[in-house]
Structure 1
Amino acid sequence: MQFEIEMDELDKKLNTAFDGKVVRKDLLHRIKKGTNVPTFVLEFLLARYCASNEPAEIQAGMEAVLATLDENYVRPDEANAAQSRVATKGKHKFIDKVHVRYVEKDKRHWAALENFGSQKVAIAEKFYRDIDRLLEGGIWAEVVIAHNDIDEDKYAFYVEDLRPIQLKRFNFESYCEGRKDFTRDDWLDVILRSVGLEPMKLTPRVKLHFIARLAPLVEANFNFVELGPRGTGKSYFFSEFSPYSTLISGGQATKATLFYNNARGKIGLVGFWDTVAFDEVGGIKVKDPDTIQIMKDYMANGRFSRGAEIIANASMAFIGNIDQSIEQIVRSSEHDLFLPLPPQFDLAVMDRFACYLPGWEMPKNSSAYLTGRFGLITDYLAEAFHYQLKHNNRYEEVSSRLKLGNAVEGRDEKGIKKTVCAFLKILHPGAPASDKEFHEYAEYAIECRRRVKEQMNKRKPDDEFALIDLSYFDASGEEKVVHCPETRGISATLEPSRRRLSGGDDSSSFASVSLPKELTRSVHEESVAVENSISEIEEQHYTISYGDTGHTYESILGPYLTKATEIVIEDPYIRAPHQIANFVRFCETAVKCPTLRNIQLITSYDEKTDLALLNEKIDELKQSLLEIDVVLTVTLNEVLHDREIRLDNGWTVKIGRGLDFYQKPDSWFTIGANDYSLRRCLETKVDIFRTSR
Structure 2
Amino acid sequence: MKELDIKLNQYFGGKVVRKDLTKLVKGNAIVPIYVLEYLLGQYCATDDEETIDQGVETVKSVITKHFVHRDEAQIVKSTVKEKGSHRIIDKISVKLNDSKDQYEATFANLGLKGIPISGELIKQYQKLLTHGVWCILTLGYVSTDEKGSTPWIIESLKPIQISNINLEEYKEGRSNFTKDEWIDVLMQTMGLNPEEFTFRSKLLQLTRLVPFVENNYNLIELGPKGTGKSHIFSELSPHGILISGGEVTAAKLFVNNSTGEIGLVGYWDVVAYDEFAGKSKNTNRGLVDIMKNYMANKSFSRGTSVYGASASMAFVGNTDHSVPYMLKHSNLFDALPKDYYDTAFLDRIHAYLPGWEVQKLRNDMFTSDYGFIVDYLAEILKELRKEDWNAEYNKHFELSNSITTRDKDGITKTLGGLLKVIYPDGNYTEEEMRELLDFSVECRKRVKLQLQNMDETFEDVDFSYTVKRTGEKVTVETLEVLEYLRPDPITEVTVDSETMETQEQKPSKPELTEQNIIIRDNQTGISYNNLFGDYLIGATEIQIVDPYIRLPYQLRNLMELLKLVAEKKSSETEVKVHLVTTNNEDFIEGSKESFEQMTMSLESVGILFSYEFDNFIHDRSIVLNNGWKIIMGRGLDIWQKTGGWNDINEYLQEKRLCKSCEITILKKKIDDPN
> Is it true that 1:382 corresponds to 2:417 in the alignment?
no
**Partners of 1:183 and 1:123 in 2: CA distance:** 48
Q: Secondary structure at the match of 1:403?
A: strand
- Counterpart in the other structure of 2:347: 351
> Is it true that 1:366 corresponds to 2:362 in the alignment?
yes
One-letter amino acid of the structure 2 residue matched with residue 325 of structure 1? S
Alpha-carbon distance, 1:400 to partner: 4.6
Alpha-carbon distance, 1:476 to partner: 2.3
List per-residue Cα deviations over 1:407-452 (Å, max 9, x = no partner): 4211110100000010011011121421011111110001111111
**Partners of 2:47 and 2:483 in 1: CA distance:** 52
- Counterpart in the other structure of 1:298: 294
> Is it true that 1:316 corresponds to 2:332 in the alignment?
no
- Counterpart in the other structure of 2:6: 12
**Partners of 1:487 and 1:457 in 2: CA distance:** 14
**In the superposition, relative to structure 1, how do residues 32 and 492 fare at CA in structure 2: closer, same or farther (>3 Å)?**
farther
One-letter amino acid of the structure 1 residue matched with residue 66 of structure 2? N
**In the superposition, relative to structure 1, how do residues 360 and 288 fare at CA in structure 2: closer, same or farther (>3 Å)?**
closer
Alpha-carbon distance, 1:303 to partner: 1.4
One-letter amino acid of the structure 2 residue matched with residue 150 of structure 1? T
**Partners of 2:366 and 2:40 in 1: CA distance:** 17
Work out whether residues 246 and 276 of structure 2, in 8 Å CA contact, stay in contact via their aligned partners in 1: no
Match of 1:100 among 94, 97, 102: 94
Report matched runs for 1:286-685 at 5 Å: 287-306=283-302, 307-332=304-329, 335-345=330-340, 346-389=342-385, 391-460=386-455, 462-467=456-461, 469-474=462-467, 475-488=469-482, 490-491=484-485
Match of 1:169 among 153, 158, 164: 164
- Counterpart in the other structure of 2:645: none
Work out whether residues 331 and 493 of structure 1, in 8 Å CA contact, stay in contact via their aligned partners in 2: no
**Partners of 2:270 and 2:332 in 1: CA distance:** 24
Alpha-carbon distance, 1:188 to partner: 0.8
**Partners of 2:208 and 2:85 in 1: CA distance:** 41
Match of 2:60 among 57, 66, 85: 66
**Partners of 1:287 and 1:354 in 2: CA distance:** 22
One-letter amino acid of the structure 1 residue matched with residue 50 of structure 2? A
Report matched runs for 1:34-433 at 5 Å: 34-152=28-146, 154-282=149-277, 287-306=283-302, 307-332=304-329, 335-345=330-340, 346-389=342-385, 391-433=386-428
Alpha-carbon distance, 1:347 to partner: 0.4
Work out whether residues 24 and 56 of structure 2, in 8 Å CA contact, stay in contact via their aligned partners in 1: no
One-letter amino acid of the structure 2 residue matched with residue 178 of structure 1? G
One-letter amino acid of the structure 1 residue matched with residue 433 of structure 2? F
Q: Secondary structure at the match of 1:19?
A: coil
One-letter amino acid of the structure 2 residue matched with residue 255 of structure 1? A
**In the superposition, relative to structure 1, how do residues 367 and 156 fare at CA in structure 2: closer, same or farther (>3 Å)?**
farther
**Partners of 1:406 and 1:10 in 2: CA distance:** 43
**Partners of 2:65 and 2:435 in 1: CA distance:** 49
| Structure 1 spans left out of the alignment, 5+ residues | 1-6, 495-693
Segment drifting more, 351-360 vs 150-159: 150-159
Work out whether residues 355 and 449 of structure 1, in 8 Å CA contact, stay in contact via their aligned partners in 2: yes
**In the superposition, relative to structure 1, how do residues 45 and 491 fare at CA in structure 2: closer, same or farther (>3 Å)?**
closer
Paired-residue identity, %: 40
Work out whether residues 228 and 322 of structure 1, in 8 Å CA contact, stay in contact via their aligned partners in 2: yes
One-letter amino acid of the structure 2 residue matched with residue 160 of structure 1? E
Aligned residues: 483
Segment drifting more, 471-480 vs 70-79: 471-480
List per-residue Cα deviations over 1:65-101 (Å, max 9, x = no partner): 1111000111111112111111111111111111001
Q: Secondary structure at the match of 2:481?
A: coil
**Partners of 1:207 and 1:29 in 2: CA distance:** 23
- Counterpart in the other structure of 2:527: none
Work out whether residues 351 and 410 of structure 2, in 8 Å CA contact, stay in contact via their aligned partners in 1: yes
- Counterpart in the other structure of 1:567: none
**Partners of 1:102 and 1:264 in 2: CA distance:** 10
**Partners of 2:487 and 2:316 in 1: CA distance:** 22
Work out whether residues 99 and 137 of structure 1, in 8 Å CA contact, stay in contact via their aligned partners in 2: yes
**Partners of 1:413 and 1:118 in 2: CA distance:** 50
Work out whether residues 282 and 340 of structure 1, in 8 Å CA contact, stay in contact via their aligned partners in 2: yes
Segment drifting more, 275-284 vs 292-301: 275-284
**Partners of 1:239 and 1:399 in 2: CA distance:** 35
**Partners of 2:124 and 2:268 in 1: CA distance:** 15
Work out whether residues 324 and 484 of structure 2, in 8 Å CA contact, stay in contact via their aligned partners in 1: no
**Partners of 2:244 and 2:295 in 1: CA distance:** 20
**Partners of 1:32 and 1:369 in 2: CA distance:** 20
Alpha-carbon distance, 1:60 to partner: 1.3
Q: Secondary structure at the match of 1:395?
A: coil
- Counterpart in the other structure of 1:660: none
- Counterpart in the other structure of 1:26: 20
**Partners of 1:448 and 1:148 in 2: CA distance:** 58
Alpha-carbon distance, 1:109 to partner: 1.4
Q: Secondary structure at the match of 1:316?
A: strand
Alpha-carbon distance, 1:301 to partner: 2.4
Work out whether residues 226 and 358 of structure 1, in 8 Å CA contact, stay in contact via their aligned partners in 2: yes
- Counterpart in the other structure of 1:605: none
Work out whether residues 95 and 141 of structure 1, in 8 Å CA contact, stay in contact via their aligned partners in 2: yes
Q: Secondary structure at the match of 1:445?
A: helix
**Partners of 1:69 and 1:32 in 2: CA distance:** 8
**Partners of 1:30 and 1:479 in 2: CA distance:** 53
- Counterpart in the other structure of 1:610: none
List per-residue Cα deviations over 1:556-586 (Å, max 9, x = no partner): xxxxxxxxxxxxxxxxxxxxxxxxxxxxxxx
Alpha-carbon distance, 1:40 to partner: 0.6
Work out whether residues 456 and 465 of structure 1, in 8 Å CA contact, stay in contact via their aligned partners in 2: no
One-letter amino acid of the structure 2 residue matched with residue 377 of structure 1? I
Q: Secondary structure at the match of 1:52?
A: coil
| Structure 2 spans left out of the alignment, 5+ residues | 489-674
**Partners of 2:27 and 2:433 in 1: CA distance:** 39
One-letter amino acid of the structure 1 residue matched with residue 319 of structure 2? I
